[in-house]
């Protein structure tokens, strides 16, 4: 196994997931505000699940997204 390539591929995946997820959450919140589904002072519970096929690995992360 090439440790450098392995670590680089993990960082690349996590960066892509982080950036894309943030953009999509921002768009969804803006749409919710525009359509009146959100007031702008909510605390939105969130869950992120990471699964890796072939490793029998599934990780859940829980947190909150606060709008104010």
In angstroms, the first-to-last Cα distance of the chain is 46
pLDDT in tens, 36-47: 999 999 999 999
pLDDT in tens, 20-37: 999 999 999 999 999 999
- The rounded distance, in Å, linking the Cα atoms of 49 and 57 is 10
Q: Using CA atoms of 45, 38, 40, 24 in order, give the dihedral in degrees to the nearest 10.
A: 60
User: Rounded to two decimals, what is the model's pTM?
Assistant: 0.88
E strands, the chain, where?
43-52, 57-66
> How much of the chain is in helix, strand and coil states, percent to nearest 5?
50, 30, 20
């Amino acid at each position: 196994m090439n440790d450098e390539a392995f670590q680089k591929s993990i960082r690349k995946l996590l960066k892509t997931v982080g950036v894309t997820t943030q953009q999509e959450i921002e768009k969804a919140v803006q749409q919710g505000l525009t359509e009146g589904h959100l007031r702008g002072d909510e605390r939105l519970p969130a869950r992120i699940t990471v699964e890796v096929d072939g490793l029998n690995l599934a990780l859940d992360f829980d947190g909150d997204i606060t709008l104010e």
